[in-house]
Amino acid sequence: MPSSLRFLFVVTTSLLLSACGTSLQRAPVEDRNPQPPKVAAPAAPASAPVAAAEVKPPLPGAENAGKPGYYTVKPGDALIRIALDNGQSWRDVAKWNNLENPNRIEVGQVLRVVPPGVDPSAVTAKPIGTVAKVEARPLDAKPPVGSASSASSASAASAPATVVAPKEASKEASKESAADDDTLSWAWPVAQSVSAGFDEQRNKGLDFAGKPGDPVYAVADGRVVYAGSGLRGYGNLVIIKHNNTYLTAYAHNRAMLVEQEQVVRKGQKIAEMGSTESDSVKLHFEVRRLGKPVDPAKLLPPR
C-alpha cells in the first residue's frame, strides 16, 4: 500500500476510534438478587381511648368538710371514739348522720358531731376553774359487793336507797341538762386511792388499782350512753353523759351492771373492777369536758 494511502487509513481509523470512545454508554447493570421493596412500617394504631377514670360519688357530708361541728373520718376511727372525743352519745351521732349501720363509716366521710340546730361556734369550752356547787361528801350508801346474774337485777340491787322512780329520774335528768352544765355534784368512782395521775399525753384520766370485783360507782347523775367493749384499749367500758358538757368513762371492768340509755344516780354501782385489756386489775377513769379529757382531780371533791 502506498504511503499516502497508509497514512489516510491510519488517520481514518483513529478518527473512528475516537468517535466511538466519546459516544460509548455503559450497559445497564441488572441486579440478579433484587432486594424486596422496603415497606414502610405501619403507623402505630391509634391508642384505644383511655377509659375515663371511674368517678366515685362524693362521700356523705363532703360538703361540710372543715366546718365547725363536723368531723372527717380518719383511718382507724370508730364511731364510739368519735362520739366520745366530741362529748356525744354514739347513738345520737348515728341518728344525726342517718347511719343505718353505725359500724360502717368510711375514711373521708364527714359526720355531724353537734346536734342539729346548735351553732357549732357557740360550743366552746370555758376554762376549768372552781366548779360551782361541788358537794364535798362521801359516796352515797354503798351496797355490799357481790356479783349479779344480769345487768337489770344488779343495777336494781346496787342502787342506793335514794333512787327515784324512772319517770322521776328522767325528769330530774332533763332538769339537770337544762341547768348550768357546770353545776354538777361530783363523787369519787371508787374507794381506792389514785395509782396513776392525769397526764394529757400519756394518761387521759386517773387510774385506781384494786381487786377483781371491787365496786365502781357513777360519779354524778346521768344517762348511760355506752356499755360495751368496742373501744380498743378500754376493755369493758361504761360511758355516762351527765349533761351537755360532761361525760365520764369507766374502763377495764370485769362486769358492767348497767345498760345503754339507763338513767343512773350519783353513787350507784355501775360496774365491777377488772383487768379487761389491761395488765393489772384497775379502774381507768376519765372526765370529758365537751369531748376533751380534763384532769378529774380538779373536779372531784376532797377526801
pLDDT at 203: 93
Tell me the percentage of the chain whose pLDDT exceeds 70.
Answer: 62
Strands (E), the chain: 70-72, 110-112, 206-209, 215-217, 222-228, 236-241, 246-256, 263-264, 269-273, 282-289, 292-294
Residues 158, 78 share a domain? no
Number of domains in the chain: 2
Please state, in angstroms and rounded to a whole number, the distance separating the CA atoms of residues 203 and 229.
Answer: 19
Model confidence over 143-167: pLDDT tens digits?
333 333 333 333 333 333 333 334 4
Q: CATH number, domain at 102?
A: 3.10.350.10
Looking at residue 47, what is its pLDDT? 54
Bridge partners of residue 299, in order along the sequence? none
CB 83 within 8 A of CB 95: no
102 and 205: one domain? no
Regarding whether 115 and 156 lie in a shared domain, the answer is: no
Same domain as 203, residue 79: no
Q: What is the CATH number of the domain that holds 226?
A: 2.70.70.10
Report pLDDT for 137: 34
Last residue of a domain, one of 119, 137, 163: 119
Q: What is the pLDDT of residue 46?
A: 57
pLDDT at 5: 60
Its domain, for residue 157, covers 151-298
| 7 found inside a domain | no
The answer on 103 and 224 residing in a single domain is no
Cα 198 to Cα 205: distance, rounded to the nearest angstrom: 5
173 and 266 inside one domain: yes
Kindly state whether residues 188 and 108 are assigned to the same domain.
no
Residue 213: inside a domain: yes
Instruction: Note whether 294 and 157 are same-domain residues.
Output: yes
- Within-domain flag for 206: yes
Residue 31 included in any domain: no
| Same-domain status, 284 and 175 | yes
- The whole model's pTM is what? 0.62
Please report where in the chains the cell 361541788 appears, as a residue.
134
Q: Give domain status of residue 53, yes or no.
A: no
155 and 293 assigned to the same domain: yes
157 lies in the same domain as 263: yes
Residues 112 and 177 in one domain: no
Give the domain-ending residue among 97, 119, 141: 119
Is residue 204 in some structural domain? yes
Mean pLDDT by 10 residues, the chain (303 residues): 60 56 47 54 56 70 87 91 89 90 89 85 48 35 34 36 39 44 87 94 94 97 95 95 95 96 97 96 96 95 92
Q: Which of 119, 134, 161 is the last residue of a domain?
A: 119
